[in-house]
Amino acid sequence: MPRRSDVRETPRGEALKYLAKGEEFAGTASSAVKERSWNSAGLSAIHAGISAADAALVASAGVRSISRDHGAVILLLESSVPEFGATQRRQLAGLLKMKNEVAYEQRLLTEVESRQLVDHASRLIRWSRKVVADHVSS
């Protein structure tokens, strides 16, 4: 479980805003793939996945991670969101593993890597949409 100082209570209704951000990032990622902009697609996909995780956490538990370590969100999801399973863990971990490399390193993403990140993000958004729908009335 993450440290209490790394968790912020957040009204459940705010989950809709995190989901909207995630959907926007996912749309940007899909557009970037069409333009063959692999790095833009990958980074947007990573941000989509992070927003999807935030939306699910806020909707289900009324909290979100504020840790600088994005990996802490996985522990928080595991302990706070019953719907967070092995599939979502693998997808989110795959996105987070690439965050620093995509954002800060000089190596460019390949088409295959970019498409995989976009796929993970799209699946996380669909999952998060369901979690939000199950826990928050719009």
pLDDT, one tens digit per residue, over 37-66 is: 999 999 999 999 999 999 999 999 999 999
Q: Specify the pLDDT at position 3.
A: 65
Q: CB–CB of 19/55 below 8 Å?
A: yes
The pLDDT tens digits of the residues spanning 12-40 come to 999 999 999 999 999 999 999 999 999 99
User: What are the respective helix, strand and coil percentages of the chain, to the nearest 5?
Assistant: 75, 5, 20
Q: What does the alpha-carbon distance between residue 53 and residue 47 come to, in Å, rounded to a whole number?
A: 10
What is the architecture, at CATH level 2, of domain 4-131? Up-down Bundle (1.20)
Phi and psi at residue 70, to the nearest 5° = -60, -25
Give the residue extent of every domain in the chain: 4-131
**Stronger pLDDT, 5 or 67, i.e. the higher one:** 67
Question: Is the pLDDT confidence value at 120 over 70?
Answer: yes
pTM for the structure as a whole = 0.94
Q: CB–CB of 132/10 below 8 Å?
A: no
Question: Is the pLDDT confidence value at 123 over 80?
Answer: yes
Q: Specify the pLDDT at position 124.
A: 98
Q: Specify the pLDDT at position 137.
A: 79
Residues in a beta bridge with 7: 65
